[in-house]
């Protein structure tokens, strides 16, 4: 890909790198820019992106549970309607007792995502308003999207099981064997290799 | 009361004949399957030729469709709706999710066996059943009604304690009015 095409992406990265202390930053591919920041830098970066760089659309916000590192990663996805670029702002907080600043004064709709993450992962947002109970009802277990929540054990305990599923075999090996087989002629033209 | 055709009184036969030809379906959907209902009802598959049509409120409806996976949160509403419906009432479970959990069998928020919580008269298999299958299910239900075998509402009253125990296992905060059998 020529430099020319990624011109807008590079411009954004240079601006952000000059202004903020980024932990990591890269262009994933055309139209995708990723920056990793400290939790306290989240508000400045988002505000700067919205007010000065034209990333006015808050597309999504999600959370990833990195249980191995003992951290949650929260991803804010912004969208530039004119340049058509997605900006991913990622930040990491400790799993226990971590907290993030509330950003719903920048985009009001962030409130919904934050409440969902608070409920599903148990991550605290400073100063977040709204009822604690959002999607779940009468939930008194650990937040269900945490990876230390054992879904299968919970399901076994709470729900009934119709007979007929116990003999479900692990077919992954069988499928793996089959993928090594020679393809029949008619299928060859659809094959990737 | 109505166990087989021979022991049915003539009035039951007439009553059941009338019932099976005017099934009012509650306009209520859960899961993916609600999307199969519009084509079933409208001109392409035209379920109205079987006497099947929509009803706006539970008290006017005869049939409750559970169209797919049922979240524990929705279960509460479904029980409430079911108990508001007038006798005789019928329940149809759509798709593998209602039968045994389907592909959501290990999800923390969907139930796996619908008939443990409310009595089901007909199950339709598929993921999701096509309108043809839905109509086949309705025809089966009509057959059961004519034979007097679609007695889910009766079973619910008789085994209410058992159903309640199962329901309360999931709905921990029970704040609903009581059901008068
Ligand atoms: S059976 Fe299939 S189509 Fe129906 S609710 Fe389940 S996943 Fe959706």
Sheet with B52-55, edge to edge strand ranges: B52-55, B23-26, B63-66, B90-94, B122-124
- CATH of residue A82: 3.30.460.80
Q: Is the pLDDT of residue A176 over 90?
A: no
Query: Cβ–Cβ contacts within 10 Å for residue B179, how many?
Result: 15
Q: Is the pLDDT of residue A2 over 60?
A: no
Residue B26 falls within a domain, yes or no?
A: yes
Neighbouring residues of B161: CB distance < 8 A, sequence distance ≥ 6:
none
Q: What is the pLDDT of residues B34-43, one digit of tens each?
A: 898 999 999 9
Residue A123 falls within a domain, yes or no?
A: yes
B128 CA → ligand 1 middle, Å: 5
Q: What is the pLDDT of residues A77-92, one digit of tens each?
A: 999 999 899 999 999 9
What would the mean pLDDT of A22-46 be, rounded to a whole number?
91
What would the mean pLDDT of B8-36 be, rounded to a whole number?
89
Q: Is the pLDDT of residue B93 over 90?
A: yes
Judgement on whether residues A120 and A46 belong to the same structural domain of the protein: yes
| Number of the ligand 1 atom closest to the C-alpha atom of B30 | 5
Provide, as residue numbers in chain B, all residues whose Cβ is less than 8 Å from the Cβ of A151. Answer: 106-108
Judgement on whether residues A100 and A41 belong to the same structural domain of the protein: yes
Residue A2 falls within a domain, yes or no?
A: no
- CATH of residue B69: 3.40.50.12280
Cβ–Cβ of A137/B166 closer than 8 Å?
Answer: no
Residue B13 falls within a domain, yes or no?
A: no
Judgement on whether residues A193 and A168 belong to the same structural domain of the protein: yes
Judgement on whether residues A142 and A47 belong to the same structural domain of the protein: yes
Residue B108 falls within a domain, yes or no?
A: yes
* Cis before A41 (ω within 30): no
Q: Which ipTM value was assigned to this complex?
A: 0.82
pTM score: 0.81
User: What is the residue with the minimal CA distance to atom 5 of ligand 1?
Assistant: B68
- Token look-up 């096509």 returns B130
Ligand 1 pocket member B31 (CB < 6 A):
yes
Range of the domain at B119: 18-170
Mutate one of A138, A140, A152, A161 to test the B interface: name it (highest B CB count within 10 A).
A138
- Token look-up 């269900």 returns A144
Q: Residue B112: which of A135, A137, A161 has the nearest Cβ?
A: A161
Cβ–Cβ contact A162 with B under 8 A = yes
Q: Is the pLDDT of residue A135 over 70?
A: yes
A4 CA → ligand 1 middle, Å: 47
Distance CA B64, CA B148 (A): 18
Neighbouring residues of A19: CB distance < 8 A, sequence distance ≥ 6:
A48
Say how many CA atoms lie within 13 Å of A78 toward its Cβ.
25
Distance CA B104, CA B112 (A): 8
B68 CA → ligand 1 middle, Å: 5
Provide, as residue numbers in chain A, all residues whose Cβ is less than 8 Å from the Cβ of B167. Answer: none
Judgement on whether residues A167 and A145 belong to the same structural domain of the protein: no
Distance CA B166, CA B99 (A): 16
Alpha carbon A118 to its chain's center:
14
Task: State the pLDDT at residue A62.
Answer: 94
Report the residue of chain B nearest A145, measured CA to CA: B108
Cβ–Cβ contact B77 with A under 8 A = no
Q: What is the pLDDT of residues B144-159, one digit of tens each?
A: 999 888 889 999 999 9
Mutate one of A133, A137, A154 to test the B interface: name it (highest B CB count within 10 A).
A137
Q: What is the pLDDT of residues A94-110, one digit of tens each?
A: 998 889 999 989 999 99
Judgement on whether residues A177 and A125 belong to the same structural domain of the protein: no
Residue A1 falls within a domain, yes or no?
A: no
Total domain count, chain A: 2
Range of the domain at A58: 7-153
Judgement on whether residues A93 and A181 belong to the same structural domain of the protein: no
Distance CA B150, CA B58 (A): 19
Q: Is the pLDDT of residue A173 over 80?
A: no
Per DSSP, the residues of chain B read: ---STTTS-HHHHHHHHHHHT-EEEES---SGGGGGHHHHHSTTT-GGGGTEEEESSGGG-SEEEE-S--BHHHHHHHHHHHHHSPSS-EEEEEHHHHHH-GGGTT-TTB-S-GGGTS--SEEE-SSSPPHHHHHHHHHHHHHHHHHT---HHHHHHHTHHHHHHHHHHH--S---PPP--
Judgement on whether residues A177 and A137 belong to the same structural domain of the protein: no
Residue A86 falls within a domain, yes or no?
A: yes
Judgement on whether residues A118 and A178 belong to the same structural domain of the protein: no
User: Residue B180's pLDDT band (boundaries 50, 70, 90)?
Assistant: low
Total domain count, chain B: 1
Q: Is the pLDDT of residue B3 over 60?
A: no
User: Residue B8's pLDDT band (boundaries 50, 70, 90)?
Assistant: confident
Judgement on whether residues A32 and A115 belong to the same structural domain of the protein: yes
- Percent of chain B residues topping a pLDDT of 70: 95
Task: State the pLDDT at residue A113.
Answer: 93
Closest of A123, A71, A79, A77 to residue A102, by C-alpha: A123
Judgement on whether residues A14 and A61 belong to the same structural domain of the protein: yes
Lowest mean pLDDT among A52-56, A162-166, B51-55, B94-98: A162-166
Judgement on whether residues A142 and A180 belong to the same structural domain of the protein: no
* Cis before B88 (ω within 30): yes
Q: Is the pLDDT of residue A3 over 80?
A: no
Residue B1 falls within a domain, yes or no?
A: no
Provide, as residue numbers in chain B, all residues whose Cβ is less than 8 Å from the Cβ of A140. Answer: 172
User: Residue A191's pLDDT band (boundaries 50, 70, 90)?
Assistant: low
Residue B5 falls within a domain, yes or no?
A: no
Ligand 1 pocket member B69 (CB < 6 A):
yes
Report the residue of chain A nearest B168, measured CA to CA: A158
Q: What is the pLDDT of residues B119-132, one digit of tens each?
A: 999 999 888 899 99
User: Residue B181's pLDDT band (boundaries 50, 70, 90)?
Assistant: low
Cβ–Cβ contact A164 with B under 8 A = yes
Residue B178 falls within a domain, yes or no?
A: no
Residue B181 falls within a domain, yes or no?
A: no
Cβ–Cβ contact B135 with A under 8 A = no
Q: Is the pLDDT of residue A29 over 60?
A: yes
B177 CA → ligand 1 middle, Å: 31
Q: What is the pLDDT of residues B79-91, one digit of tens each?
A: 999 999 998 899 9
Cβ–Cβ of B112/A144 closer than 8 Å?
Answer: no
């Amino acid at each position: 890909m020529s430099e020319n095409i990624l011109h807008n992406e590079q411009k954004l990265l240079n601006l952000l790198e000059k202004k903020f202390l980024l932990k990591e930053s890269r262009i994933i591919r055309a139209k995708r820019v990723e920056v990793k920041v400290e939790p306290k830098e989240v508000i400045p970066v988002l505000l700067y992106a919205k007010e000065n760089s034209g990333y006015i659309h808050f597309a999504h916000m999600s959370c990833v549970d990195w249980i191995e590192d003992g951290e949650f990663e929260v991803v804010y996805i912004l969208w530039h309607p004119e340049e058509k670029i997605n900006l991913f702002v990622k930040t990491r907080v400790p799993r226990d007792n971590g907290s993030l600043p509330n950003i719903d004064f920048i985009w009001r709709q962030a409130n919904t995502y934050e409440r969902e993450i608070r409920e599903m992962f148990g991550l605290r947002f400073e100063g977040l308003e709204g009822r604690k109970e959002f999607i779940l009802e009468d939930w008194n277990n650990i937040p269900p999207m945490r990876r230390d929540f054992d879904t299968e054990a919970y399901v076994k305990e709470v729900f009934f099981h119709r007979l007929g599923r116990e003999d479900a075999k692990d077919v992954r090996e069988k499928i793996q064997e089959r993928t090594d087989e020679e393809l029949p002629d008619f299928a060859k033209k659809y094959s990737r290799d | 009361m109505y166990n087989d055709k021979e022991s049915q009184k003539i009035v039951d036969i007439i009553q059941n004949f009338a019932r099976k030809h005017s099934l009012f379906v509650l306009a209520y959907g859960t899961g993916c399957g609600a999307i199969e209902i519009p084509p079933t009802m409208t001109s392409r598959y035209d379920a109205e030729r079987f006497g099947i049509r929509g009803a706006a409120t539970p008290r006017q409806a005869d049939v409750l469709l559970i169209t797919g996976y049922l979240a524990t949160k929705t279960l509460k509403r479904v029980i409430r709706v079911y108990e508001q419906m007038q006798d005789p009432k019928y329940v149809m479970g759509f798709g593998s999710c209602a039968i045994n959990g389907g592909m959501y069998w290990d999800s923390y928020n969907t139930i796996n066996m619908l008939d443990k919580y409310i009595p089901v008269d007909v199950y339709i298999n598929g993921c999701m059943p096509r309108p043809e299958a839905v109509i086949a299910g309705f025809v089966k239900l009509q057959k059961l009604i004519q034979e007097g075998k679609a007695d889910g509402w009766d079973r619910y009253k008789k085994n209410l304690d058992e159903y309640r125990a199962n329901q309360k296992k999931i709905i921990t905060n029970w704040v609903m009015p009581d059901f008068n059998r």
